[in-house]
C-alpha cells in the first residue's frame, strides 16, 4: 500500500515503498467502515415509521505511520513536525493493488513519540476530518479541468466527429457513461464553441441546463457541480441568470449505473464541443 499526502503548496510526503515512512500495523482506521445518519418520523397510529432521509456526514479517519530510519529519527521528527500542521487541508491518496482513491481532509489531531532505546522508531498518529465522506477515483485520462483536482473524464463529444470511433465511444450528440462507484457523482462540464451557437443545452439523464443567447469562439461555459451551491460561468463570470428557468438544475448528477449525456442547440449544434468530468465516489477502500 502506498499513501501520499499533498499540502496546498504542493509539498508531498509519501508512505510505503521507496520511502523511510511506513504504515504501522492496523494503521488505517475509519477507511473500511461507514455509518449513515437516518432521519425518520414515527407513525403513532401503527408500528414503525417513515424514513425521511439517509445521508453520510463528515468522516473521521486516523492514519498511523512510522519512520524506519532510526539513525536519523530526530531529523525525521523535525520534518514531520513541519509538514503536518494544525488545520491544514491535505489531499490524501491511497493506492492498493494499483487502484488509487483519494480525499481531502483537515488534520485536527496528531501525536508523535520521542524515540528511545526501547522504542527506536519514530511513530505518528494523525486524525483527519473528511468533509466529503467519500473517497474519489483518480483521472484515468490524466486530464484536469478548471483546477489541479484529478478527475475522471470521457473524451470530447463533438458533432463534427460524428461516426468516428475514439476510445470506446462513437461521437454523436449523446454518449452513455457508466458510474460504478457507490454514490451519485458530481460533474464538471466544459462547453466550447467553434462558431456562433444559439441557445445551447446540455443534459444528463432527465436533468438539463439551457443557456439563453448566442455564444461564440471567445466563450467558455463551465458548469461545476463539485461545489455547493453549483457554479455556472462563462469566462469565469456567473451566468446563472442567463439560463432558461425551465432548466432542471437539481437533476444534473451522474447516477450509479449507465447515464446518458447529450447536447444540442436551437442553431449551430455542429459548432459545439462538450466534455464532462467526474470522480467516482467510494465509501470504503
Q: Which residues of the chain have pLDDT under 70?
A: 117, 139-172
Task: Give the pLDDT confidence score for residue 117 in this predicted structure.
Answer: 67
User: Is the CB of residue 179 less than 8 Å from the CB of residue 260?
Assistant: no
Which residues, in sequence order, are CB contacts of 101 under 8 Å at separation 6+? 93, 94, 135, 136, 137, 138, 282, 285
Q: Which of 204, 179, 187 is nearest to 263 (CA)?
A: 204
Task: Give the pLDDT confidence score for residue 139 in this predicted structure.
Answer: 60
Which pTM value belongs to this model?
0.76
- Provide φ and ψ at 55, rounded to 5°: -150, 155
Amino acid at each position: 500500500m502506498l499513501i501520499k499526502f499533498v499540502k496546498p503548496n504542493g509539498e508531498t510526503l509519501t508512505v510505503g515503498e521507496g520511502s523511510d515512512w511506513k504504515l504501522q500495523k492496523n494503521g488505517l482506521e475509519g477507511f473500511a467502515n461507514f455509518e449513515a445518519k437516518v432521519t425518520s418520523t414515527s407513525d403513532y397510529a401503527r408500528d414503525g415509521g417513515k424514513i425521511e432521509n439517509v445521508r453520510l456526514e463528515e468522516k473521521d479517519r486516523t492514519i498511523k505511520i512510522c519512520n524506519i530510519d532510526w539513525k536519523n529519527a530526530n531529523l525525521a521528527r523535525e520534518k514531520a513536525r513541519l509538514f503536518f500542521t494544525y488545520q491544514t487541508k491535505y489531499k490524501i491518496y491511497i493506492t492498493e493493488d494499483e487502484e488509487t482513491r483519494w480525499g481531502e481532509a483537515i488534520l485536527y489531531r496528531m501525536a508523535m513519540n520521542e524515540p528511545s532505546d526501547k522504542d527506536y522508531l519514530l511513530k505518528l498518529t494523525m486524525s483527519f476530518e473528511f468533509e466529503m465522506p467519500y473517497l474519489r477515483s483518480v483521472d484515468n485520462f490524466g486530464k484536469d479541468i478548471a483546477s489541479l483536482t484529478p478527475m475522471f473524464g470521457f473524451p470530447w463529444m463533438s458533432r463534427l466527429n460524428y461516426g468516428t470511433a475514439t476510445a470506446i465511444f462513437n461521437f454523436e450528440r449523446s454518449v452513455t457513461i457508466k458510474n460504478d462507484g457507490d454514490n451519485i457523482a458530481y460533474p464538471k462540464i466544459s462547453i466550447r464553441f467553434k462558431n456562433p451557437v444559439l441557445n445551447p443545452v446540455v443534459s444528463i439523464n432527465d436533468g438539463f441546463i439551457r443557456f439563453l443567447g448566442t455564444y461564440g469562439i471567445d466563450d467558455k461555459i463551465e458548469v461545476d457541480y463539485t461545489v455547493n451551491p453549483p457554479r455556472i460561468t462563462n469566462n469565469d463570470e456567473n451566468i446563472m441568470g442567463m439560463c432558461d428557468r425551465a432548466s432542471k438544475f437539481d437533476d444534473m448528477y451522474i447516477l450509479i449505473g449507465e447515464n446518458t449525456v447529450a447536447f444540442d442547440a436551437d442553431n449551430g449544434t455542429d459548432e459545439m464541443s462538450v466534455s464532462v468530468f467526474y470522480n467516482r465516489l467510494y465509501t470504503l477502500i
